[in-house]
Amino acid sequence: MDFDSRSPVVVLAGGTGGAKLARGMADVAGDDLVVIANTGDDVEMYGAYVAPDPDLVTFWLADRIDERGWGLAGDTFHVMDGLRELGVDIWFNLGDRDLAYGVRRAELLAGGTRLTDAIAELVAALGVAATVLPMADEPVRTSVLSEDRWIPFQEFMVRERAAPPIADVRYDGAADASVTPEAASALANARAIIVGPSNPVISIGPILAVPGMAEALRDAPAPVVGVSPIVGGQVVKGPTEPFLQWAGVSLDASGIASFYGDLLDGLVADEPLDALAIPTLRADTLLGDPDARRRVATEVLAFAEGLR
Ligand code: GDP
């Protein structure tokens, strides 16, 4: 197959590591960037349909992400204050603008709009040139089994602060979901497919659980390259460590490689990678500022394109 420079660069992402790499990739690939984002964390609350990972990716791409790592910079929280006044237990904070986006999305979905199109509306409204796709239009919901109780993901993550022991993970609805035409086309025509440095179990796992998604990655002519979410031997943010432990893989690049198995054609990480069976690139992968994000994206894309 002929790749041309206008083919999509696809990034699979959750809302933090993957989102930051996507922001760097937008500098490199411009409007060729297509992000396929996890929707296993989506939640309906306050009359809103909240899609945390697609929205965080969108806020990152629009340079509107708040410093705290979620929500919109400068957003206010008057509605949450009002609900608290009414005695509502607010464990999931949502800014006013963020809430407006979610309310509008709930309305669109109730009217029969696909999630893909509802997300595209916000992406366009925020002036983002890249494409942000949900992993599926059908609902898929991640939950965590802890001490005999299945805890919906946001409750586990936000209310319980990811503290409960992890006995199992499931992606409800995944079996009835399907790869969207937009995602299928992006993957089939991609010049590179990057599995972002996101939590493999709870951010990338649900994406790969969509029937046909793993096959679409394997069948894609483009190289599939992973970026390790472990920097300096540690997780930068979030509960990646207990989830990798649950998955039975080590907290290092070889653990990431074995988690993804034959899906990857190459792996990028900041540690020695000599023992791995796939081509590897050792690089400083901390995505802490715009220059670093651009540099890492440039290196990852060049490495992937060199694997063709
Ligand atoms: P979530 O949806 O908010 O859980 O976010 P992700 O799954 O996308 O991101 C969480 C992962 O991102 C963690 O495993 C972090 O180690 C990783 N991460 C965060 N910042 C960086 C970074 O600067 N570089 C790399 N390589 N990984 C990062």
- CB neighbours of residue 233 within 10 Å: 9
Instruction: Report residue 161: phi and psi, to 5°.
Output: 50, 35
CB 54 within 8 A of CB 132: yes
- Indicate if ligand 1 lies below 6 Å from the C-beta of 229: yes
pLDDT computed for residue 4 by the predictor = 63
Positions of the chain with pLDDT lower than 70, given as ranges: 1-5
pLDDT (tens digit, 9 = 90+) per residue, 20-64? Answer: 999 999 999 999 999 999 999 999 999 999 999 999 999 999 999
pLDDT computed for residue 261 by the predictor = 97
Distances (CA, A) of 37 to 18, 58, 115: 9, 10, 12
d(CA 38, CA 203): 6
**Considering only CA atoms, which residue is closest to atom 20 of ligand 1?**
17
Q: Which amino acid is residue 68, in one-letter code?
A: R
Whole-number Å distance, alpha carbon 65 to ligand 1 midpoint, is 15
Structure tokens at 205: 């796992």
Query: What structural domains and CATH numbers belong to the chain?
Result: 9-43+136-306 (3.40.50.10680)
Whole-number Å distance, alpha carbon 18 to ligand 1 midpoint, is 6
* DSSP H or E stretch at residue 234: strand 234-235
- Indicate if ligand 1 lies below 6 Å from the C-beta of 200: no
**Exposed e or buried b for every residue in 42-56, given b needs 16+ CB within 10 A?**
bbeebebbbbbbbbb
Query: Count H helices, E strands: the chain?
Result: 12, 14
The ligand 1 atom at the shortest distance from the C-alpha of residue 285 is: 26
Of 135, 169, 198, 204, the residue with max ligand 1 atoms within 8 A of its CB, to mutate for a pocket test, comes to 198
* DSSP H or E stretch at residue 58: helix 52-61
Structure tokens at 15: 């809302």
- Indicate if ligand 1 lies below 6 Å from the C-beta of 237: yes
pLDDT (tens digit, 9 = 90+) per residue, 162-202? Answer: 999 999 999 999 999 999 999 999 999 999 999 999 999 99
- Indicate if ligand 1 lies below 6 Å from the C-beta of 15: yes
pLDDT computed for residue 274 by the predictor = 83
The backbone region for 34, taken as left when phi is positive above 0, alpha when psi lies in -120 to 50, beta otherwise, is beta
CB 304 within 8 A of CB 290: no
pLDDT computed for residue 308 by the predictor = 87
pLDDT computed for residue 275 by the predictor = 85
pLDDT computed for residue 226 by the predictor = 98
Residue whose pair of structure tokens reads 């608290």 in the numeric block: 84
- Indicate if ligand 1 lies below 6 Å from the C-beta of 286: yes
**Considering only CA atoms, which residue is closest to atom 18 of ligand 1?**
17
Mean pLDDT across the chain, nearest whole number? 97
57, with CB counted inside 10 A (0-12, 13-18, 19+), is buried
Q: Which residues pair with 45 in a beta bridge?
A: 48
Taking CB atoms within 8 Å and a gap of at least 24, the contacts of 3-7 are: 3/191, 3/221, 3/222, 3/305, 3/308, 4/191, 5/32, 5/191, 6/32, 7/32, 7/189, 7/190, 7/191, 7/222
d(CA 77, CA 211): 38
End-to-end CA distance of the chain: 10
Whole-number Å distance, alpha carbon 237 to ligand 1 midpoint, is 6
201, with CB counted inside 10 A (0-12, 13-18, 19+), is buried
pLDDT computed for residue 6 by the predictor = 75
Instruction: Kindly state the DSSP code that residue 266 receives in the 8-state scheme.
Output: E
- Indicate if ligand 1 lies below 6 Å from the C-beta of 299: no
- Indicate if ligand 1 lies below 6 Å from the C-beta of 197: yes
**Residues 6+ positions from 37 with CB-CB distance below 8 Å:** 13, 14, 15, 18, 51, 53, 54, 57, 132, 133, 134, 135, 207
What does pTM read for this prediction? 0.97
